[in-house]
Amino acid sequence: MIRHILRAYPTLLRVGLAELIAYRTEFLIWIFTTTMPFVNMALWTAVAADGPVGRFGAREFVTYFLGTFVTRIITGSWVVWELTMDIRQGALGARLLRPLHPLISYSAQHLAAVPLRALIVTPLLFLLSWLLGQHLNFTDPARLAILFAAFAGAWWLFFFTMVIIGTLALFVDSALSIFDLWLGIHSILSGYLVPLELMPPWVARIAQHLPFRYIMGYPVETLVGLNDIHSALIDLGIQWLYVAGFGLAALSLWRLGIKRFAAFGG
């Protein structure tokens, strides 16, 4: 089974990349629609003009929100829309006929976009490292390794969250509304709109333990050097525990729901 998947995966990745290149303009426009980090950057640098907020001065805000943009672009995917559409329109049937778990082909299709996404944000990464200057040693191999693992973890956590919500479309009609709700909560509790440490302490404390932060706030903090190596490592462990938990949940929910899909068609 595993060997089977390993053999199919590179091909699936190539197909995913080809699809992406076919729709390159769309892909670029999607990336340009991510303006929220920059709007927030403008807001907070205006605030910091009268003096720093906590340990955030103008420069910290600029790097933080550049970091949220980079993280959003690299770790983002759109599987929830694809999954709900496939379920509603019945295209899932074709995927089920293939001798491969649909979640695996979905994951390959979306993973294929990651190198291109990373390529697009590379100029911003150079800008970031220049802005951070001596504050952060980008070449420290330990931090680089943790950062890489944190991005990977964030990608999978986001992917599994989307799969879980998308699979709900097999049970209820309003899966996309649930995702909308999730996005709203996520934007507050993940550190996407506001760095978590600037939130009221009790919110920050709760958010520290919820999965949202491990999709956005934690990779950003690691990228712009707001945390030390020690706590970054502990958070990495928690993040991957969440990934494992969400992955299991996604698979079991899928198994439960897919029986209902048969009932739709039959």
> What is the contact surface with another protein in residues (CB under 8 A)?
25-26, 29-30, 32-36, 39-40, 42-47, 49-50, 53, 174, 177, 180-181, 184, 187-188, 193-194, 198-200
DSSP state letter for 169: G
Rounded CA separation 9/3 (Å): 10
Q: Of 148 and 171, which has the nearer Cβ to another protein?
A: 171
> What is the dihedral angle through the alpha carbons of 45, 50, 54, 55, rounded to the nearest 10 degrees?
60
The phi, psi pair for 53, rounded to 5°, reads: -105, 115
Question: Closer CB to another protein, residue 37 or residue 102?
Answer: 37
- Distance from C-alpha of 192 to C-alpha of 160, rounded to nearest angstrom: 19
The structure tokens 């590379």 sit at 122
| Residue with smaller CB distance to another protein, 43 or 125 | 43
CA 20 to chain centre: 18
Least gap, CB of 234 to another protein (angstroms):
26
Q: How far is the CB of 223 from another protein (least distance, A)?
A: 21
Closest CA to 31 of 64, 74, 67: 74
Nearer residue to another protein within complex by CB, 187 or 208: 187
CB closer to another protein, 122 vs 177: 177
CB of 83 to another protein, least distance (A): 20
| Nearest-approach distance from CB 140 to another protein, in angstroms | 32
Q: How far is the CB of 248 from another protein (least distance, A)?
A: 29
Please give the structure tokens belonging to residue 207.
Answer: 């958010």
Are 239 and 154 in contact, with CB atoms under 8 Å apart? yes
In the three-class reduction of DSSP (H, G, I as helix; E, B as strand; rest coil), residue 13 is classed as helix
